[in-house]
């Protein structure tokens, strides 16, 4: 949902965006290579997350996304960094997201209206949404950005965004956890349009069966996600770094698998 500036002149809008963008870039710049050479864990929200002792990960650098705040309620897990890309999720869960004060938070600049009274640990990124626009050349062609200070690519999964931030911060290796890469349409789900559904009953796709209920969701586009993850793997490899899949089970095979217990400190 883009802000409405119908009563403001184009010149003023350009000036505001330039000034806001300059402040945004200056704030984000402090994260460049801040964790160079350290490892981290990027957490998806798949059912396999229930097989992980998340409290152990409180001692690690971690990225949590979307509904990971439910794991804070259940198990006291507090990710180092928290990210949301999906405007639909932000709109439907703004009240819970605005209560997260235990993580450094990153959001798309275009959805800043959903974040009330952002604290000093909240940052807005300029996202490139062209992968979703059928009129553009980059439609369904994810672009992995190595410089999120300038822009952040999108690729069908919030984990794609987390990997760009992990790259920018210098992490190596990056371990994926809870990225099951599976999705099913549960009984009772109502098709809205395209890949958008309204879930009415139990949610089989996440670590809590009430993760999504009585609300709209976009089902993952696995082909698009695989393209984005392949771009991410190649970017890390060009820099002599790696992304490894420490998920328990699941169907993600873009990244080499490792045993989670062997890599937790």
Q: Cα(113)–Cα(42) distance, rounded to whole angstroms?
A: 26
The pLDDT, as a whole number, for residue 1 is: 41
pTM for the full predicted model: 0.89
Contact 206, 180 (CB under 8 A): no
Please report whether residue 11 resides in a domain. Answer: no
Percent of the chain with pLDDT over 70: 89
**Consecutive H or E run containing 123:** strand 122-125
The label of the residue with tokens 């993850």 reads 229
How many structural domains are present in the chain?
1
The pLDDT, as a whole number, for residue 186 is: 82
Contact 185, 261 (CB under 8 A): no
The token pair that represents 144 in the structure block: 């992995």
Please report whether residue 76 resides in a domain. Answer: yes
Q: What is the dihedral of CA 66, 69, 74, 79, to 10 degrees?
A: 100
- Characterize the bridge pairing of strands 127-128 and 122-125: unpaired
Q: Is 47 exposed, middle or buried (0-12, 13-18, 19+ CB in 10 A)?
A: buried
Closest alpha carbon to 232 in 150, 148, 126, 149: 148
Please report whether residue 209 resides in a domain. Answer: no
Please report whether residue 194 resides in a domain. Answer: no
Q: Where do the H-state alpha helices sit in the chain?
A: 10-28, 69-75, 87-92, 94-97, 158-169, 222-238
pLDDT digits (tens, 9 = 90+) for 101-127: 999 999 999 999 999 876 669 999 999
Please report whether residue 238 resides in a domain. Answer: yes
Instruction: Name residues whose C-beta falls within 8 Å of residue 110's C-beta, 6 or more positions apart in sequence.
Output: 1, 2, 3, 87, 127
Please report whether residue 41 resides in a domain. Answer: yes
CA-to-CA separations, 18 to 13, 31, 38, 153, 247, in angstroms, rounded: 9, 21, 34, 20, 41
CATH classification of the domain holding 71: 3.90.1480
Q: Cα(233)–Cα(218) distance, rounded to whole angstroms?
A: 24
Q: Work out the average pLDDT over 205-232.
A: 92
Please report whether residue 19 resides in a domain. Answer: no
pLDDT digits (tens, 9 = 90+) for 63-80: 999 999 999 988 899 999
Structural domain of 257: 32-183+220-262
The pLDDT, as a whole number, for residue 194 is: 86
252: number of Cβ within 10 Å: 21
Please report whether residue 13 resides in a domain. Answer: no
């Amino acid at each position: 949902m883009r802000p409405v500036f119908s009563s403001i002149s184009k010149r003023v809008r350009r000036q505001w965006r330039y000034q806001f963008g300059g402040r945004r870039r200056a704030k984000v710049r402090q994260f460049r290579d801040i964790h160079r050479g350290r490892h981290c864990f990027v957490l998806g929200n798949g059912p396999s997350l229930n097989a992980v002792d998340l409290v152990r990960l409180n001692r690690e650098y971690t990225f949590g996304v979307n509904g990971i705040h439910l794991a804070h309620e259940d198990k006291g897990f507090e990710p180092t960094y928290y990210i949301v890309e999906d405007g639909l999720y932000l709109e439907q869960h703004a009240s819970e997201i605005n209560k997260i004060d235990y993580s450094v938070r990153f959001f798309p600049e275009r959805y800043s209206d959903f974040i009330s009274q952002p604290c000093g640990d909240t940052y807005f990124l300029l996202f490139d949404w062209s992968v979703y626009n059928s009129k553009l050349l980059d439609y369904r062609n994810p672009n992995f950005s190595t410089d999120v200070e300038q822009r952040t690519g999108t690729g069908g999964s919030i984990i794609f965004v987390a990997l760009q931030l992990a790259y920018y911060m210098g992490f190596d290796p990056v371990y994926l956890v809870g990225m099951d890469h599976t999705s099913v349409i549960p009984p009772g789900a109502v098709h809205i349009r395209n890949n958008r559904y309204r879930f009415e009953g139990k949610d089989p796709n996440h670590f809590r069966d009430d993760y999504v209920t009585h609300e709209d969701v976009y089902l993952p586009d696995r082909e698009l996600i695989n393209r984005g993850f392949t771009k991410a793997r190649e970017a890390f490899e060009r820099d002599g770094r790696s992304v490894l899949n420490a998920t328990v089970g699941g169907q993600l095979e873009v990244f080499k698998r490792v045993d989670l217990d062997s890599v937790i400190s």
